[in-house]
Structure 1
């Protein structure tokens, strides 16, 4: 392998490790509220605006089928609801309910504590730079994948 391949491997392995770490943190924050981290991810994706299942899947980088399964559970639990989609008759919008917003608000205090701990450990400027770099990496990979799909 060459140096670029080594970097790609190191980046991928680091992101896989980060994913596991974020899931562990997410579970510790969401479990006391009675929701899974997967439920939290879907609700967070629609916290501001309702989206169709496919839109949530694109935003999260997971399959539409996974989001559909979670959305159905969230609707059954009263945390989300399906609404008509003016842009598409068959693809309903998934919207968070007041009960869903309340669950997210219950997570917020411990979420703020974790964010403060991370900002203190990294330093605010390095924390922001890290997020910017990760965002740039994700955007670049989106472009590369789209170009390959062509």
Structure 2
């Protein structure tokens, strides 16, 4: 079977997309290593950090993280059981409670952030601030395009 013909720009985008997808695995593994001493995983860290950013519902956190609501709900419930977040009333929605970190949750997040800062500083120095900022801008633009233009078959 022959590969479909693409323009050079199409080939470049396909390679870019594959690279970004391949980056997710090592980043998640690194996040797990950074979160593990605090008894957490990369996924739990993401949800806890989202709750720490601003009080938000599980659905809001799922949208912000680009994850399925059900998966975020499962993680949020575990974080609540561990006393790391609390659900509080949402003035904008009667049933969708807001997640907020507890003092213990903030402590755990601070521990992870301290380890992440050392790790990020080392990788940032090696890859270069300007190049990383350019890559971040490009990825943000790709995300916006993908959200604004639904894929059709």
Query: Which one has the bigger helix percentage?
Result: 1
Separation of aligned partners in 2, 1:12 and 1:126 = 18
Deviation per CA, 1:124-147: give whole Å up to 9, x if none: 1112111121122112211123x8
- Show CA shifts across 1:28-73 (max 9, x none): 1001110111100101112121111110010011111001111110
> Distance in 1 between the 2:79 and 2:33 partners?
19
Matched, 1:29 2:28: no
Larger CA Rg, structure 1 vs 2: 2
Query: Which residue of structure 2 aligns with residue 118 of structure 1?
Result: 123
Deviation at 1:122, TM superposition (A): 1.4
Tell me which of 2, 18, 25 is aligned to 1:20. 25
**RMSD between superposed Cα atoms in Å:** 1.5
Q: Structure 2 residue aligned with 1:9, among 2, 14, 17?
A: 14
| Whole-Å separation in 1 of the counterparts to 2:24 and 2:127 | 18
Q: Aligned residue for 2:106?
A: 101
Q: How many residues align?
A: 147
Q: Secondary structure of 1:51's partner? A: coil
Question: 1:93: Cα distance to partner?
Answer: 0.7
Superposition TM-score, scaled by structure 2 size: 0.89
Match of 1:49 in 2: 54
Alpha-carbon distance in structure 1 between the residues aligned to 2:65 and 2:144: 13
Structure 1 length normalisation: TM-score?
0.91
Of 130, 134, 142, which aligns to 2:139?
Answer: 134
Helix, strand or coil at the partner of 2:94: coil
Please identify runs of 4+ aligned residues in structure 1 that moved more than 3 A: none
